[in-house]
Structure 1
Amino acid sequence: MTERSEFMSDSDRYYTPQNSKDAMRQIELLFNKYKDAPLTQELVDYHQNLVNRLKTDIMAAAQKEGVAARVDSINSMINVMQRWLQIRLQGQPFNGKMAHFKYEQNGTTAKFKRRVHKIKGAGSHRASRH
């Protein structure tokens, strides 16, 4: 073990966002990681903690920054996360994810085909035929 890892401060250990949008991105990323996990009391507590962070700390930071659209995005995130908990407590699957701080249903994003075909010539000259 190195000496640095033995004496790590809390500031090295925890993620500290630069602004409210950075914090919102981090919560969105965390939410999308656990949204399909089996529901346990620990997960519910963790989820409630994130929602409370959005309602208090991050909302206050967004209002202080003076970005009205960001406050609306936080309210949208809170609604999605509360709806997720209600759906999961009823035993139903949550068919979607959070993208750009809003609910996005599975299968609604456009998928693009990308198949590379070599057409006469060197390998660096490629065309895609769709």
Structure 2
Amino acid sequence: MNILNRYYQPKDAKDAMRYIEKLFNRYRNEPLTQELLAYHQKLISQIATNIIPVAKQEHNQQRIKAAQEMETIMQQWIRAKLMGQPFNGRMHHFQFEPDNQRIKFKRHHVKVKGNSNLRSSRH
């Protein structure tokens, strides 16, 4: 196996930002440990040292601003976790989104006689 294929190689700054956002949302509610804090700070340094310079090379001001906002949100996560407070939200499109802001849709299952007709229509 080639060692270059082992690690994730983003195509551009936006791809890398999406990947970091996905990773952050995966561990945002976990209890703070020394390993998690080191990993989180590593991701913040990746944004500052790799993503922002690439976004500047792409001459994309919106992406630079989004990366800086992302870095700020991740630093706020550290402050909240160190004070023992929960982080009530997630990162969505590189911005903070509170948990209570998401729209929840209710689903109504219609059961019809049979095993596999959970969502069949009633005509």
TM-score (norm 1): 0.82
Query: Per-residue deviation at 1:125?
Result: 7.2
Contact 2:110 2:120 in 1 (8 A): no
- Distance in 1, matches of 2:83 and 2:64, equals 29
The one-letter amino acid paired with 1:12 is N
Q: Is 1:98 aligned with 2:91?
A: yes
Equivalent residue number for residue 111 of structure 1: 104
The one-letter amino acid paired with 1:61 is V
Q: 1:84-95 maps to which residues of 2 (within 5 A)?
A: 84-95=77-88
Residue 100 of structure 2 aligns to a residue in which SS?
coil
TM-score (norm 2): 0.86
Contact 1:116 1:126 in 2 (8 A): no
Residue 101 of structure 2 aligns to a residue in which SS?
coil
Q: Is 1:21 aligned with 2:21?
A: no
Q: Which has the higher contact order (CA 8 A, sep 6+)?
A: 2
Contact 1:59 1:74 in 2 (8 A): yes
The one-letter amino acid paired with 2:75 is Q
Equivalent residue number for residue 45 of structure 2: 52
- Distance in 2, matches of 1:116 and 1:69, equals 43
RMSD (CA atoms): 1.9
Query: Per-residue deviation at 1:112?
Result: 2.2
The one-letter amino acid paired with 1:65 is E
Q: Name structure 1 gaps, 5 residues minimum.
A: 1-7
- Distance in 1, matches of 2:76 and 2:65, equals 17
- Deviation sequence 1:69-100 (CA, Å, 0-9, x none): 11111011001000000000111111111111
- Distance in 2, matches of 1:105 and 1:52, equals 24
Query: Per-residue deviation at 1:117?
Result: 4.7
Q: Name structure 2 gaps, 5 residues minimum.
A: 112-116
Count of residues in correspondence between the two structures: 117
The one-letter amino acid paired with 2:121 is R
Equivalent residue number for residue 126 of structure 1: 121
Instruction: List 4+ stretches of structure 1 deviating above 6 A.
Output: none
